[in-house]
Amino acid sequence: MTFDQRRAELIDAAIRVIARDGLAAATTRAIVGEAGMPQGSLFYIFSSRDALISAVIEEITTTERRGALLSVEMSAPDRGLHEVLAAAMDAYLRLLQSNPDRELALLEVAAHAMRHDPPAAHRQWQTYRATVAEALSFIADTMSMRWTLPVTDLAHMVTSALDGLTLSWLTDRDGDAARRHIDLLAGTFAALAVSEHNPVSATGASPQGETV
């Protein structure tokens, strides 16, 4: 196995152990055992267990970002903003459905950090919001529109909405209900955009709410 392959396998093994048994059980011995590697392999790739946990967070948030951006890039050029936002959030949902362990591991790490290392939890969600802000900026540039709120504020709102969607789906595993939620969220956030070429919202209403 190459260095990158070993790194990826250790991250995946850590995610599986954390999601299944909790962060406290994710010792270096448990992780390398899950990966089927000798213990020295972990410290050859990562400087410490904490460095591996940080890599887990980065892997999860980066994968989510890639999934959302890919859906936007593949959108038909005649799609409206509501449809594009719904497609991006649906990509997030499909990613969640394909491997719930990733999100369970992220939540486990976050809950531990909130109790024992609040600054680390803050950094974790800053990373998450930054990926959402990047996606929102990408959409705005691609569709020649602008958001009526600062993108950092909007990213905070979208992240909070996705947090609720995630917890709800992890609880009931109801994909149909989640997609109805996504449709409502997409309409809400689409109303917070105006075209660069025409000062009306992407949903056909002026910024003051007057239908045009």
Chain segment 85-116, per-residue pLDDT in tens: 999 899 899 989 998 988 888 888 888 888 88
* Residues 73, 77: Cα–Cα separation, whole Å: 9
* Residues 203, 212: Cα–Cα separation, whole Å: 10
| Environment class of 141 (CB within 10 Å of its CB; exposed 0-12, middle 13-18, buried 19+) | exposed
Per the confidence metrics, is the pTM higher than 0.75?
yes
Q: Give me the residue spans of the domains in the chain.
A: 1-46, 50-195
* Residue 108 amino acid letter: E
Q: Encode pLDDT of 43-65 as tens digits.
A: 999 999 989 988 888 888 777 77
Tell which CATH classification among 3.10.580.10, 1.10.357.10, 3.40.50.720, 3.30.300.30 matches the domain 50-195.
Answer: 1.10.357.10
Q: Is 147 helix (H, G, I), strand (E, B) or coil?
A: strand
Q: Which fold has domain 1-46?
A: Arc Repressor Mutant, subunit A (1.10.10)
